[in-house]
Each structure stands twice: as structure tokens, then as C-alpha cells.
């Protein structure tokens, strides 16, 4: 069984250095009660990923390459409403590769940075372009963003808007 351990942070897009590499992603989510199934198209590649639905930094994860045509058909025929579109940038910092997702569409304006770890207690050097951690906030999970886009969040429910306005 695969396991994913990651921390997630809001990043400042204006402070990001040039990426080492980037790829535009589109993903949709398949409906199920105890496991989240994701179909992702990344450029000319496609993947089926199954993740446990429990929150936090550690979740079961299984990912498989699938034919691009199959991915498109799964998204067309079985995906729940909503999509997440973003460009994933790969940034080096502190001896690690960070994945920085710059969202567009209904989630435009949101930039999330993720770093994968070997254990939950592993030390991480936080880059200067990271604002705050949101690993335990389910609103920042892509499955949530697909059906509750960032652009639709109410200002009083979005902590960053309070920070901007000095209303913490």
C-alpha cells in the first residue's frame, strides 16, 4: 500500500522564483464514500489515483498510469461536477523539490505549495515564499476546491482575507 505524507502551505505568487519545470494539470473526482478516486491528466499523461478520505498529513494513496483516452472518458462519463485546473511548478528549496500549484479557472488567485515527506515529524526548511500552513484545513484539498471553488468562498470564511484586512 502506498502512503502519502505531505504538508501544504499558501505561497506568495509574486515571490516565487522561476520554476525548474512546470506542467498544466486537469483533474476531476469520482464519487465514493470511503475513498476518493481522482483522474488526472498531466500534459500527455494520465493517472488514476485512489486516496483515503481521512484528513491530516498522512493518507493511503495508490496511483496508476492509465491511457489518456480512458482518463478523458472517465472524466466525461463518471466525474462529479467541478474540475480543478492548475499549473504545477517544481521548485527546489532546502534540498527538496516543492510542488507549487498555481490555480486558474474558478480557483484563480490560489497558490498552494506542497512538499512530500518520509515521516510526519521530518524537519522541513520552509521557503521564504510560503505564507502559512494549511495541511489540516480540508478546504484546501483539491477534491473540495473542485466543488467549492476558491472564487466562491465568502470573505468571512477565508482566513487569508482577514489577514489582508488586518482582522485576525
Beta bridge partners of 81: none
Output the DSSP codes for 54-103.
--SSEEEEEEEEE-HHHHHHHHHHHBPS--EEEEEEEEEETTEEEEEEEE
Dig out the grid coordinates for 34 from the structure: 470511503
Q: What does the domain layout of the chain look like in residue ranges?
A: 3-164
**What number does CATH give the domain 3-164?**
2.40.320.10
pLDDT per residue as tens digits for the range 108-150? 999 999 999 999 889 999 999 999 999 999 899 998 999 999 9
Whether this model's pTM surpasses 0.85: no
pLDDT per residue as tens digits for the range 10-55? 999 999 999 999 999 998 876 566 678 889 999 999 999 998 877 6
- Residue 29 falls in the annotated catalytic set: yes
Name residues whose C-beta falls within 8 Å of residue 20's C-beta, 6 or more positions apart in sequence. Answer: 90, 91, 92, 97
Helix H or strand E encompassing 142:
helix 142-147
Residue % of the chain over a pLDDT of 70 = 86
Q: Which of 29, 64, 90, 140 is catalytic?
A: 29
Amino acid at each position: 500500500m502506498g502512503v502519502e505524507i505531505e504538508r501544504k502551505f499558501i505561497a506568495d505568487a509574486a515571490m516565487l522564483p522561476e520554476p525548474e519545470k512546470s506542467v498544466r494539470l486537469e483533474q476531476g473526482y469520482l464519487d465514493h464514500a470511503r475513498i476518493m478516486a481522482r483522474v488526472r491528466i498531466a500534459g500527455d499523461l494520465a493517472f488514476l489515483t485512489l486516496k483515503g478520505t481521512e484528513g491530516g498529513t498522512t493518507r493511503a494513496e495508490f496511483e496508476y498510469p492509465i491511457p489518456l483516452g480512458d482518463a478523458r472518458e472517465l472524466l466525461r462519463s463518471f466525474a462529479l461536477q467541478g474540475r480543478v485546473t492548475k499549473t504545477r511548478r517544481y521548485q527546489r528549496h532546502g534540498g527538496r523539490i516543492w510542488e507549487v500549484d498555481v490555480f486558474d479557472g474558478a480557483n484563480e488567485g490560489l497558490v498552494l505549495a506542497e512538499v512530500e515527506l518520509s515521516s510526519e515529524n521530518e524537519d522541513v526548511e520552509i521557503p521564504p515564499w510560503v505564507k502559512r500552513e494549511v495541511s489540516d484545513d480540508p478546504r484546501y484539498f483539491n477534491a473540495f476546491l473542485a466543488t467549492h471553488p476558491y472564487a466562491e468562498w465568502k470573505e468571512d470564511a477565508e482566513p487569508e482575507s482577514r489577514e489582508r484586512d488586518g482582522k485576525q
